[in-house]
Structure 1
Amino acid sequence: MARPPLLTLQDIALTFGGTPLLEDASLQVGAGERIALVGRNGSGKSTLLKIAAGIVAPDSGRRFMQPGATVRYLAQEPDLSAYASIEAFVQTGLGPGDDPHAGRIILEGLGLDPDAPTTKLSGGETRRAALAHALAPDPDVLLLDEPTNHLDIAAIAWLENLLEERRKALVLISHDRRFLETLSTAVVWLDRGHTQRMERGFAEFEDWRDGIIAAEEEERRRLDKKIEQEQEWLRYGVTARRKRNMGRLRNLQALRQERRDQRKQTGLADMQIGAAERSGKRLIIAEGLEKAFGGKPIVKDLSLTVMRGDRIGFVGPNGVGKTTLINILLGRLQPDAGTVRFGVDLKPILLDQRREGLDPTMSLRKAISPSGSDQITVGQTTKHVAGYLKDFLFTPEQFNTPVGALSGGERARVLLGRAFAMESNILVLDEPTNDLDLETLDLLAEVIADYDGTVLLVSHDRDFLDRTVTTTLVAEGGGKWSEYPGGYSDMLDQRGAAPTEPVGNEKREKAPKKDAAPRPAQQKKVKLSFREKHDLETLPAKIEALEKEIAEMSERLADPNLYAKDPKRFDALTTAITEKQTEREAAEERWLELEMKREELAG
C-alpha cells in the first residue's frame, strides 16, 4: 500500500518581473526517495527548492508537509558571525531527538576542525559548515542545492557514501553528473516553468529528455504546417468569397497565439575558441621544481614536460597547491628551486574560478567586448556582439545588465565568452564547471576536445575530467605529484584505488601512502575514526531498541481479527515492521563490520 508523500508542491507559480519563472511546477517527495532536480541555469531550480523548504512563498499553488516530518535545507550563503566555533553553528541545526555527536562526525568527514573559530573561514569552509549544519540532524527530507561546490574529490566521495547509507528522502541539485548518477532514483526536470518527472535515475535522464524535445519539435513542425495552410487559404480563398469565414479566421489567430505561447526549448551555448598560431612542439619543460609556503611543501622535485595538444588534469584536495603549480608552470610564480623553460610564442589564457576578472559595474556587452566594438572575431569567424552573446544563452534584454546582477552560472558563461574570444594556444581552466548547467558542461567538454592547443585543467568533477584530459597529475601529499596517462577513472585503475576512495588527500586515512599504490585491502588504518567509535558504542543499544519495537508490532499483528477490524492499521503495521527489520539488519551489518575492524586493529 503506497504511503502519502512527505512533501508536496502542487501547481506552483512565481513571477519575478517579466516572464514567469514558475508556471505549473509540482514536486512530490516520498520517504526514502532520492530525486535529482535538473534544468538549465536560471530555470528556477533553486527557487523551487526554497519554496519546498518554506523559505520563499509562491504567488500561487500549494505546499504541504506531513505532520511531524522534518526538513533541512542547505543554505547557499550562511551567516556564521554569531557563533564562536563551527561546531556551535552546526549544533543549532539539531533537534531534541538528534544525536549530539553527529555534528562532529559530519565535520570530520568534510575535513573541518569543529573547534575552529568562524571569523577566519574561507568561502569554501563556510560552505562546508553549512553542509554539516544540514546533514547533522538526519532529517526526513534533505534539500541540497549544489552540495559539491567547494568540495574536493575525496570529500565528494565521502558525501556520496554518507547519502547512500541514509534511508531518508533527498532532493538534489548538482552539476556533478557522476554524483547525480550515483545517488538519484528519480529525476524532476524543470523546463520553461513546468516540471516533468521520470521514475528512473539520472543515468537515463538525457535519453528521456531528448525524446520529449523531439516530440515537441515534431508538434511544432505540425503546427507551423497548419499555420502555413491557413495563411494560404486566407491569401487566396477569402478574395473569392463575398463573406469571410470568420470561424476559420479565428482558428488561424488561435494557432498563431498558440505558436507564440510555446516557449521554445532553450538552446545550447554555441562555443568556439579563438586559436592562436601554433606554438612549438614542447611548450613547457620543468625540471626539479621545488616550492614551499611556511614550511609546507607544495611541489617537491617535480619534472614535467608539457607538449602541444596535451590536456592535463590537476587533481588533489583543496589547498594542496594545484593553482600554485600551474602559476609556476606558466612563469607567473617563481619556484624555490628548479627551472622552467618555455617554447616559442606562448599565448596562455586563464579562466579564473573566483570571477576576479569581472567588474560587477560593467555591462554584459562591455564585459564581452571591452573595446566597445560591435564585432568579435573568434578563430576564422567574425560575429556581431549581440549574436555572440546569444551563443552563450543571453537574451537581448540582458545586454546592458551589470555583471554584478547576473547569477553565478551567468557570470561563468561571461568568463567563458571572454576567454574563448581571445587568441590562445594554452587554455588554463581553474574549476570551470562551477555554476554551469549540465548541457553547457557537455558543450564545454566538446569544445575543449576540439581545441587546437594545450589545456591545463583544475577540476573536482570526475566525469568532466574523464571526458576532457589525456593526462592526470595527482597531488600525493608532502609536495609529491604523480603523473598518470588517461582520465580520472584511468588513474584510479592504475593506482588500484576504488572509485569511491579519496584521492590525493594526505589527511584522510584512506589515501594511499606517498610512495606506494596499495590495493584497498592492503591499506590498514591506525585507529578508528570518531564516527566509527561512536557507531560501535551506540549501535548495540539501537539494535536492542529496534528488536523491541519489532516484537511489539509483531504482537499486535498476531491479532487474527486486526485486518477485519482495521485494515488501514494492519497495512501501516505491516509497512512499519518491514522498515524496522531492514533498519535492524543494516545496523547489525554495520556493527559487525566495525567490530571486525576493531579486532583487526587491536591484533
Structure 2
Amino acid sequence: MALPPLLTLQDVALTFGGTPLITKAELSVAAGERVALVGRNGSGKSTLLKIAAGLIEADAGRRFVQPGATIRYLPQEPDFSGFETVLGYVEAGLAEGDDPYRARYLLEELGLGGEEPTASLSGGESRRAALARTLAPSPDILLLDEPTNHLDLPAIEWLETELKALRGALVLISHDRRFLETLSKATVWLDRGVTRRMEEGFSGFEAWRDSVLEEEARDRQKLARKIAAEEDWMRYGVTARRKRNMRRVGLLQDMRRRLREERRAVGQVQMTASEGETSSKIVIEAKGVSKAYGGRDVVKDVSIRIARGDRLGIVGPNGAGKTTLLNMLTGALAPDAGSVTLGATLEMVTLDQRRESLDPNWTLAEAMTGGRGDYVMVGGQPKHVASWMKDFLFSPEQVRTPLRVLSGGERGRLMLARALAQPSNLLVLDEPTNDLDLETLDLLEELIADYAGTLILISHDRDFLDRVVTSTLVAEGDGRFVEYAGGYSDMVAQRGHGIGPRTVSPAPRTASVKERAPEDSPEHAPEGGAETAAPREKKRKLSGSEKHQLETLPRLMAALERDIAKLQGALDDPDLYARDPARFEKLTTLMGNAQAKLAQSEERWLELEMLREELDGRGGA
C-alpha cells in the first residue's frame, strides 16, 4: 500500500514578466521517497523547488503539506547575513528538540571547524556550511538544489553516503549524473512548463525522455499530414464549390497553431570545435616537476608524457595541486625543479574555472567578437555571431543582451562558444561542466569524442570523466600524482577506492574525523579563494562532542521512551478520535516524531559505541 504524500503540488502555474515559466506542474513526495527533478537550464526547476519549499507563491494551483511534516530547503546561494561564524549559521537552522551536537558533527565531517567567519567563505566552504545547516535537523523532506556545486570528489562521495543513510524523503536537482543515479528512485521531468513523472531512478530517464520525444515527433508528423490534406481541400474543394466552409478553415488554423506551439520545444545545442594544425606526436613531456609554496609540496616529482590524441583527466580534492600541475604542464607556470617540454606547432585553447573576467555591460555579440563587427571566425571561416550563438542555445534576440543578466548556465555556454571558436590542437578544460545542463553535457562529450586534437581535463564529474578520458591522473596527497589507465571507474577499480580515504567497505558515518588539507597556492587558486581541501583519514580519538553524545544519549533515549509511553496511553482511548479529532492528530504527529527521534538516537549511539570499541582496540593493538 502506497504511503500518503507528505508534500503535494497540483496544477501549479507561474508567469515571469508576462512569459509563462510553469504552466501545469505537479509534484508528490511521500515519506522516504527519493525524487530527481530534471530539466534544461531555465526550465523552472529551481523555481518549482522554491514553490515546494513555500518560498514562492504560485499564480495558480495548490500546495499541501501534511501537518507536522518538516521541510528543509538547500538554496544555490545561501544567505549568511546576520551570522558571524559558520557554527552560528548552522545552529540557527535547528528547531526545538533537534540534536544540537549534530551541527558540530556535520561540520566536522565536511571539513569545517565552525569558527570560520561567514564573510570570508569560499564557494566550496559556503556550500558545505549550507549543507550542514540543511541536514542538521533531519527533516521529513529535503529539497536540495544543486548540492554538489563547488564540492570536490571526496565531499560528493561523502554526501552520497550521508543522504543514502537518511530516512527522510529527498527531492534533488543536480547536473551530476552519477549523483542522481545513486540516490534517485523516481524522476520528475519539467519540460516546457509541464511535469511528467517516471517511477524509476535517473538511470532510466534518458531512454524514457527519448521515447517521449519520439512519440511527440510522430504525433507532429500525423498532424502535419492532416494539415496537408486540409490544405489540399482548401485549394481545390473551396474553389470548385465557390463556397468557404468556415468551420474547416477554423480547424485548419487551430491545427497550425497547435503545430507551432509543439515545435516551440527547446532546440539542441550544436557544438563544433575549430581544429588547428596537427601537433607533434609528443604534445607535452614533464620530467620530475615539483612546486612548493610556504614549505609545502604542492606538486612533487611528477613525470608524465602526453601524446597526440590523448585524453587525460586530472582528479583530486580541492587544494591538492591540480591547477598548479596543469599550469606547469601548459607552460603557464615555471616549476621549481624538473622540466616541461611542449611539442612543436602547438595551438592551445584553455577554458578555466574562473570563466575569465568579462565586462558585465558587454553584449553577447561584443563578448564573442571583441566589439569588432558581427562575425566570428570558426574553423577559419567567418560565421555570423547570431548563427554561432544559436548553436549554443542562445536565441537571436539574446545577441544584444548584456552579460550581467545571464544565468550561470548561460555564462558557461558563452565561455564554451568563445573557446571553441578558436583553432586548436590542444584543448585544456578546467571544470568545464560547471552550470551546464545534461543535454549540453551530452553534446560537449560528443564534441570531445570528435575532436582530433589532445585534451587535458580537470573535473569532479565522475560520469563525464568516464565518458571522455583515456587515462586518469590522481592526486595521491603530499604533492604526488599517479596515472591510471581509463576513466574514473577504471581508476577506482585499479586503485581499490575513490578519491577519499581508503576503506574496505562503507564505513559508519562517524568512522573518521575530517581535517582541512592545506590549500593550493594562493597565486593560482580559483577565483573566490581556495576551496576547502577534502578531509583525510588520520589516527584519532573520540572528539569532545562525540564523548558528550555517548554520555547523554542514553538519558535522552530513556526520556523519549517515557514520552512515547505517555502518548501511547492517551492514544489507547478508543473514543479519542470521535471526541477530539484535532487532539488525536496532534498526538499521532508527536508520537511519530518521538519514535523517529528515538530510532535516530539509538542508531547514533550504536555508531559511537562501535567507533569507541574500534578505537580502543586500535589503541591496544
| Fold in common (TM above 0.5) | yes
Which sits farther off after the overlay, 207-216 or 124-133? Answer: 124-133
Query: CA shift at 1:64, angstroms?
Result: 2.4
Q: Report the counterpart of residue 435 of structure 2 in structure 1.
A: 435
Q: Report the counterpart of residue 518 of structure 1 in structure 2.
A: none
1:46 and 1:282, CA in 2 relative to 1: closer, same or farther beyond 3 A?
same
Query: In the aligned structure 1, how far is the partner of 2:65 from the partner of 2:584?
Result: 24
Unaligned 5+ residue runs, structure 1? Answer: 514-522
Whether 2:588 is the aligned partner of 1:601: answer no
Query: In the aligned structure 1, how far is the partner of 2:585 from the partner of 2:451?
Result: 60
Pick 1 or 2: higher relative contact order, CA cutoff 8 A, min separation 6.
2
Query: CA shift at 1:403, angstroms?
Result: 1.3
1:538 and 1:388, CA in 2 relative to 1: closer, same or farther beyond 3 A?
farther
Query: In the aligned structure 1, how far is the partner of 2:558 from the partner of 2:118?
Result: 39
Q: Report the counterpart of residue 421 of structure 1 in structure 2.
A: 421
**Is the Cα contact below 8 Å between 2:154 and 2:499 reproduced in 1?**
no
Query: CA shift at 1:63, angstroms?
Result: 2.1
Matches within 5 A, 1:9-408: 9-370=9-370, 372-379=372-379, 383-408=383-408
**Is the Cα contact below 8 Å between 1:502 and 1:510 reproduced in 2?**
no
1:450 and 1:15, CA in 2 relative to 1: closer, same or farther beyond 3 A?
same
**Is the Cα contact below 8 Å between 1:34 and 1:171 reproduced in 2?**
yes
1:581 and 1:75, CA in 2 relative to 1: closer, same or farther beyond 3 A?
closer
Query: In the aligned structure 2, how far is the partner of 1:533 from the partner of 1:253?
Result: 75
TM norm structure 2? 0.86
Query: In the aligned structure 1, how far is the partner of 2:588 from the partner of 2:82?
Result: 47
In the TM superposition, what whole-angstrom CA distance separates every residue of 1:382-428 from its partner, at most 9, and x where no partner exists?
64322221111111121110111110001100011111110111111
Query: In the aligned structure 1, how far is the partner of 2:543 from the partner of 2:310?
Result: 40
1:566 and 1:205, CA in 2 relative to 1: closer, same or farther beyond 3 A?
farther
Query: CA shift at 1:181, angstroms?
Result: 0.8
Q: Report the counterpart of residue 520 of structure 1 in structure 2.
A: none
Query: CA shift at 1:126, angstroms?
Result: 1.9
Query: In the aligned structure 1, how far is the partner of 2:212 from the partner of 2:500?
Result: 33
**Is the Cα contact below 8 Å between 2:37 and 2:189 reproduced in 1?**
yes
Query: In the aligned structure 2, how far is the partner of 1:501 from the partner of 1:203?
Result: 27
In the TM superposition, what whole-angstrom CA distance separates every residue of 1:38-68 from its partner, at most 9, and x where no partner exists?
0000101111111222222222222222222
Query: In the aligned structure 1, how far is the partner of 2:118 from the partner of 2:303?
Result: 39
1:464 and 1:543, CA in 2 relative to 1: closer, same or farther beyond 3 A?
farther
Which sits farther off after the overlay, 491-500 or 111-120? Answer: 491-500
**Is the Cα contact below 8 Å between 2:76 and 2:147 reproduced in 1?**
no
1:162 aligned counterpart, secondary structure: helix
**Is the Cα contact below 8 Å between 2:111 and 2:514 reproduced in 1?**
no
Query: In the aligned structure 2, how far is the partner of 1:533 from the partner of 1:280?
Result: 61
1:525 and 1:265, CA in 2 relative to 1: closer, same or farther beyond 3 A?
farther
Which sits farther off after the overlay, 377-386 or 283-292? Answer: 377-386
**Is the Cα contact below 8 Å between 1:157 and 1:501 reproduced in 2?**
no
1:71 and 1:177, CA in 2 relative to 1: closer, same or farther beyond 3 A?
same
Q: Report the counterpart of residue 517 of structure 1 in structure 2.
A: none
Query: CA shift at 1:548, angstroms?
Result: 5.9
TM norm structure 1? 0.89
Query: CA shift at 1:188, angstroms?
Result: 1.0
| Identity percentage of aligned residues | 60
Unaligned 5+ residue runs, structure 2? Answer: 504-510, 518-536
Q: For residue 386 of structure 2, what is the amino acid of its counterpart?
A: A
Q: Report the counterpart of residue 409 of structure 2 in structure 1.
A: 409
Query: CA shift at 1:501, angstroms?
Result: 5.7
Which sits farther off after the overlay, 570-579 or 147-156? Answer: 570-579
Q: What is the count of residue pairs matched by the alignment?
A: 590
Q: For residue 404 of structure 1, what is the amino acid of its counterpart?
A: R
